[in-house]
Amino acid sequence: MKKKVAILGATGIVGYNFVKILDKHPFFEISELCASKRSKGKKYKDALKGEIDTNISYKTRNMIVKECTPNLDAQYLFSALSPDIAGKIEKDYAEKGYIVFSNAKSHRMKKNVPLIIPEVNWNHISMIDNQKTKGKIITNPNCSTIGLALGIHPIDKYFEIERITVVTLQAVSGAGYSGVSHLQINDNVIPHIEGEENKIINETNKILGNLNFNNEINKRKIKIDVHCNRVPVSNGHSESVFVKFKSNYSFSKIKKIWNNFKPEKRYLDLPSGIKQPIIYFDKNNYPQPKLHRNLAGGMCISIGNLKKSVNFHCQFVLLVHNTVRGAAGSSVLNAEYYYRDFG
Amino acid sequence: MKKKVAILGATGIVGYNFVKILDKHPFFEISELCASKRSKGKKYKDALKGEIDTNISYKTRNMIVKECTPNLDAQYLFSALSPDIAGKIEKDYAEKGYIVFSNAKSHRMKKNVPLIIPEVNWNHISMIDNQKTKGKIITNPNCSTIGLALGIHPIDKYFEIERITVVTLQAVSGAGYSGVSHLQINDNVIPHIEGEENKIINETNKILGNLNFNNEINKRKIKIDVHCNRVPVSNGHSESVFVKFKSNYSFSKIKKIWNNFKPEKRYLDLPSGIKQPIIYFDKNNYPQPKLHRNLAGGMCISIGNLKKSVNFHCQFVLLVHNTVRGAAGSSVLNAEYYYRDFG
Amino acid sequence: MKKKVAILGATGIVGYNFVKILDKHPFFEISELCASKRSKGKKYKDALKGEIDTNISYKTRNMIVKECTPNLDAQYLFSALSPDIAGKIEKDYAEKGYIVFSNAKSHRMKKNVPLIIPEVNWNHISMIDNQKTKGKIITNPNCSTIGLALGIHPIDKYFEIERITVVTLQAVSGAGYSGVSHLQINDNVIPHIEGEENKIINETNKILGNLNFNNEINKRKIKIDVHCNRVPVSNGHSESVFVKFKSNYSFSKIKKIWNNFKPEKRYLDLPSGIKQPIIYFDKNNYPQPKLHRNLAGGMCISIGNLKKSVNFHCQFVLLVHNTVRGAAGSSVLNAEYYYRDFG
Amino acid sequence: MKKKVAILGATGIVGYNFVKILDKHPFFEISELCASKRSKGKKYKDALKGEIDTNISYKTRNMIVKECTPNLDAQYLFSALSPDIAGKIEKDYAEKGYIVFSNAKSHRMKKNVPLIIPEVNWNHISMIDNQKTKGKIITNPNCSTIGLALGIHPIDKYFEIERITVVTLQAVSGAGYSGVSHLQINDNVIPHIEGEENKIINETNKILGNLNFNNEINKRKIKIDVHCNRVPVSNGHSESVFVKFKSNYSFSKIKKIWNNFKPEKRYLDLPSGIKQPIIYFDKNNYPQPKLHRNLAGGMCISIGNLKKSVNFHCQFVLLVHNTVRGAAGSSVLNAEYYYRDFG
């Protein structure tokens, strides 16, 4: 018997990515699609912003969208709600007993809410013991953070990172289906994304932090600088990363660590789990969004062009599919880990 | 009487930008257009890669292109030659007595060749006294270097820069008219530009260096990291810059320095001279290539989004029109300074 | 003394084009900028969708935007209102005595409302004698219609057109600043634009019709087929046109007619008037939006690639700047003609 | 035992599409990859223009490219050669006994060379009986022609087409990997493609013609007008088509004919064969290149927006993936039909 799941905020880009991943999922079955008043009562295919893929199942295409009503016929909820409403709605559902897997920023930095990239810090899941509600809230990080934190985690474990400076070149899908108009971004770069830089700084230090005996996080204190740019790319955030370590490192070791990084065996066969979450390309013009964003169905990140830095120790380029691994895909992976461990 | 000038490599993008600037120039008159064998004997409008603007003069449009023959009916030469042939050809012309203003990289780092951004280091011009030839070679820096060096020079003078890390987002015109195909770059980022990073590092430290009594440069030793990306933008290189100073600085002072930075009075009225080579925008989403690359006809650079950095002292965004201020326009400005001082 | 003018719907793309043209106009002076509630009380530069050009005057940038209140301190009104509200608002203003120059579709096909491209059918202006209101409404056609009707009018006069088939490739600015998202249109063609095809068919036959003694139009009955496509171009609608005439024609004659087509002498010196509203390029790969949309400040149309057709007589390509000649620019030209004739 | 096949011109876009389709083909096995001198001796992955997909087999990626030498270890040859050299080389191979499936235009219009879209005119294959050579040449049409001829063939059979006018909006991949630079085509339309219009006119009338008793074609005499545009789309040619029939037709009948059009049963299970080569969408904004070019792996064409025309009978929009169904995919399908019938 599959677990019933509802998608909150199902008609935006992240919501639609939840639908694409969950439409024929072996553990989960979409039982409810929720969105705002505007979409209420419409068939999903008609409520969706943008055009629906021809290979979404007939049942899902024609499911009637409802509002986020108090009682949903589902056990797990996937939230792609916008941050202005996510906070309250998710909390209400947690109180009612639902397990909420959220992509919204609202609860990410809360003391008792785990912020999880499963291959990196699944052990943080025990933070939910500090949630007093019957249900629980489990969050995944911001799209750029996921790429960065997943990419640096394995080398941080070996060489302890002291400082990072990152410049991002972010895709337009990060701003939603109609978030960036063609007139704005074609032939252009917008050198600012509201609120993004602080998210990357704070979330990274939470994710890489250590869980203490009270199931709280002692955050890392990596010194992080970020500058975010929006570029005319549909999907796939590129990041130019400069890293300084505390211990001795070598380039050959770094490359080996990345290519050998693996999830725990117990989770390897999960539907969204992949054997190699990080692919290192030994080419200076790789990775590129158009070529590599969809590797492993968009669930792995790519790294390339590792070289020496004078102000840090090394510099490299990293690519993450922002709406798959960087959003819906990560949340579903969280749910699969949860399902395996807690049912 | 105008000075006669020839343009070498006139049919590529930089060559064409020379033509656009010099077509109706008050000091200079195009007397020769030179290019490769392929173009020899053709009218300029037919030899040009790409389409010619409708407002180029009839005379120039129809001028017959020749090869780089030994004797040119011109005193000043502007070189947009490709680096594989520029070195020898420019040297030959200098030996024959021509004054060569070159955008090619071939001679830029030579000990007796000035590498000039006139508002920054016009005094380096006396390096030509060490050239034994009858003619002289005067170079302008690489397109990204011009933006960076012009932008940091005024704050370097006040606060002495110790370290810089720069990530560039470079326009496709930097690779020539057909250098980047639509299939390659649309919806994509290419995280590498061959040879570019070292140019920026080396040229910047030469430009900001001090001229000694032998008319040689003591190069600066700013520690510079660079990572270069190609993005789907036609014109205008964006640069995310992180700077660490040696002395005390303040943000309000930095902004004031940029907005008040001026060329020497004696050169203010030159045809390509502008009153304000640096415009600081107090907006976090400025400058943008599509909005600001053509300010002051493409001859000024724009800076914006100045803020605190934890690994450096400050970070900001800088924009330079790569084929105008970053190439042909800078070379013509060099020639105008030279004309004023030496005739 | 300049005439005071108000711009209705000033914050969208067409409204902004009105502002750009009228900001330093010799006959007119912007006295009011009106928009929806959302913009009320804001400075124009802050209310504008998109970014304001740096060369708009200080006064206009900082003018406080108001709603469309009943009494405006202006004699001429330029309307860029959206069609759902334009009909009533424009009528109300006409009743109050204002002269309304409208780009909205609401009144275009009304029996007593002139639909004008001044070089083509300025004589239709006497239709306003049938408007019972103290003020008057004068409209300009849809952006694609303006290009088509202006382009075929001179050859229609000579050879009488029987049939036309047109396929348009329309720019995204036609849908407003945020009308088309980058995700939708980059690397794509959308083969439909709601309502556009009928506008082109009906408006063209009205514009090319004859005014009778009652100041009403006997519409032409040219058989017109249209298919509209949206393409990833910022500005400039391209149209592939096939034409069948009733009389004998020759290609050389057609080209001569286009290049010699001129406005009446009396209007030649108007600020937005141009000597040559149609440029024919004798090149098969011209006109191109990026190269030719801004000729004559965007006020002339370009035609090229004239050749034989087997199902019609000839086929050619036509280009019109959709937000200048195709919208605001045409409306201002209407106002200048009106000002000259009626004051 | 698989048949050995060689790909001629393997390093360009069409050649690479042959590689992608044939890399793991059940009937055929790539034994030779041939290209120009420039590529000779290189590994395929290094010789390829553009970047190779990560899922091409190790064997193929590392196959050494050779020139088109007289003796190839293969029975079937797939030619993606450029037209300036294809004519002679293909003829030489046919004389040597090879079966050549060619995408080049060189032999397409020859009296004894079949020009085939298998679902449309596979019976034309008997034209090869008139080829005196030991081997044979079998061609597929131009990319735009394939879309058009496949789309109109089923309705032509029922209602007999008298006239067609077509305007194409063609993708840049049709011009090869570096054929169109980003500077040329971004934000632009180029209203001409050299030689394309005549190909569409002539090839369509050959394909739809009837084979007579001498195995020669009586060409159709449909009156066809074409105007071709290049647009900023990577893959997928859109065509706006206007059609006039000789017999009575109905819209509902036309839609039914398209959706029910099927290949002969005997060929349905071929590896590149698809059950439904034409999909009609009953939506006016479909088909769109980005959404529909890859349906059925790029092997089916899509049609939409069927409506009335006043100068013809009906008009509609058609989409074909130009490098799959419009080139390599069609040639491989020809080879599969041939293999089934002749071994």
Measure the CA–CA gap between D287 and D308, rounded to whole angstroms.
18
Give the DSSP per-residue string, D178-203: TSSBHHHHTT--B---TTHHHHHHHH
Beta strands in B87-181 (DSSP E): 99-102, 136-139, 161-170
pLDDT (mean) for C133-149:
98
**CA-closest candidate to residue C328, choices C67, C147, C104:** C104
Looking at the predicted structure, is the pLDDT value of residue B237 above 90? Answer: yes
Helix %, strand %, coil % of chain C (to 5): 35, 25, 40
Q: What is the interface pTM, i.e. ipTM, of the complex?
A: 0.96
Looking at the predicted structure, is the pLDDT value of residue B54 above 90? Answer: no
- Which residues numbered 212-241 in B keep a CB inside 8 Å of some CB on D? 232, 234
Structure tokens at A25: 């999922």
* Residue of chain A whose Cα is closest to the Cα of C184: A50
Give tens-digit pLDDT for D109-119.
999 999 999 99
Looking at the predicted structure, is the pLDDT value of residue A1 above 90? Answer: no
Predicted pLDDT at B187? 98
Predicted pLDDT at C34? 98
Give tens-digit pLDDT for C154-187.
999 999 999 999 999 999 999 999 899 999 999 9
Judge contact between C320 and C326, C-beta under 8 A: yes
Looking at the predicted structure, is the pLDDT value of residue D93 above 90? Answer: yes
Beta strands in C83-192 (DSSP E): 99-102, 136-139, 161-170
Give tens-digit pLDDT for B31-51.
999 999 999 999 999 999 999
Angle at A213 between CA A207 and CA A219, to 5 degrees: 30
Query: Please, is B104 exposed, middle or buried when counting C-beta atoms within 10 Å of its C-beta (0-12, 13-18, 19+)?
Result: buried
Q: Which region, left, alpha or beta, applies to residue A224 given φ > 0 means left and ψ of -120 to 50 means alpha? A: beta
Q: What is the largest CA-CA distance in chain D?
A: 60
Contacting residues of B for A225, CB less than 8 Å apart: 242, 309-312, 315
Q: What percent of chain B has pLDDT over 90?
A: 98
| Mode of pairing for the β-strands spanning B314-320 and A28-34 | unpaired
Predicted pLDDT at D86? 97
Judge contact between C236 and C319, C-beta under 8 A: yes
Three-state secondary-structure class, residue D207: helix
**Using CB atoms, which residue from D187, D233, D304 is nearest to C234?**
D187
pLDDT (mean) for A133-141:
98
Looking at the predicted structure, is the pLDDT value of residue B15 above 90? Answer: yes
Q: What percent of chain A has pLDDT over 90?
A: 97
Measure the CA–CA gap between D43 and B335, rounded to whole angstroms.
48
Measure the CA–CA gap between B105 and B127, rounded to whole angstroms.
17
Angle at B206 between CA B204 and CA B208, to 5 degrees: 70
Interface touch B181/D172, C-beta < 8 Å: yes
**CA-closest candidate to residue B105, choices B131, B86, B77, B124:** B86
Q: What percent of chain A has pLDDT over 70?
A: 100
Predicted pLDDT at D54? 85
Measure C176 CA to nearest chain A CA, in Å: 9
Measure the CA–CA gap between B63 and B44, rounded to whole angstroms.
6
Is C237 a known active-site residue? yes
Inter-CA distances, B290 with A104, B55, B88, B286, C183, Å: 32, 22, 37, 11, 19
What pLDDT band is residue A118 in, cutting at 50, 70 and 90? Answer: very high
Query: Please, is D133 exposed, middle or buried when counting C-beta atoms within 10 Å of its C-beta (0-12, 13-18, 19+)?
Result: middle
Exposed e or buried b for every residue in A128-145, given b needs 16+ CB within 10 A? beebebebbbbbbbbbbb
Say how many C-beta atoms besides its own lie within 10 A of residue C240's C-beta: 28
Give tens-digit pLDDT for C269-318.
999 999 999 999 999 999 999 999 999 999 999 999 999 999 999 999 99
Give tens-digit pLDDT for D174-233.
999 989 999 999 999 999 999 999 999 999 999 999 999 999 999 999 999 999 999 999
pTM value is 0.96
β-bridge mates for residue A76, sequence order: A5, A99
pLDDT (mean) for A283-310:
97
pLDDT (mean) for C232-252:
97
Average pLDDT over all residues of chain D = 97
Give the DSSP per-residue string, B266-304: GGTTSTT--S-SEEEE--TT---HHHHTTGGGGTSEEEE
Looking at the predicted structure, is the pLDDT value of residue C192 above 90? Answer: yes
Looking at the predicted structure, is the pLDDT value of residue A175 above 90? Answer: yes
Looking at the predicted structure, is the pLDDT value of residue C54 above 90? Answer: no
Give tens-digit pLDDT for A195-243.
999 999 999 999 999 999 999 999 999 999 999 999 999 999 999 999 9
Q: What percent of chain C has pLDDT over 90?
A: 98
**Using CB atoms, which residue from D51, D291, D292 is nearest to A291?**
D51
Looking at the predicted structure, is the pLDDT value of residue C343 above 90? Answer: no
Measure C39 CA to nearest chain B CA, in Å: 21
Preceding amide of D141 cis, omega within 30: no
Query: Please, is D88 exposed, middle or buried when counting C-beta atoms within 10 Å of its C-beta (0-12, 13-18, 19+)?
Result: exposed
Give tens-digit pLDDT for A60-86.
999 999 999 999 999 999 999 999 999
Looking at the predicted structure, is the pLDDT value of residue C78 above 90? Answer: yes
Structure tokens at B12: 């590529």
Predicted pLDDT at D1? 86
Give the DSSP per-residue string, C215-281: S-EE----EEEEEEEE-S-SS-EEEEEEEEESS---HHHHHHHHHH----GGGTTSTT--S-SEEEE
Inter-CA distances, A56 with A11, A22, A52, A310, D283, Å: 14, 10, 7, 50, 18
Helix %, strand %, coil % of chain B (to 5): 35, 25, 40
pLDDT (mean) for D144-165:
98
Measure A45 CA to nearest chain B CA, in Å: 26
Average pLDDT over all residues of chain A = 97
Residue of A16, A45, A51 to mutate for D, most D C-beta atoms under 10 A: A51
- D186 close to A (CB below 8 A): yes
| Mode of pairing for the β-strands spanning B76-79 and B3-8 | parallel
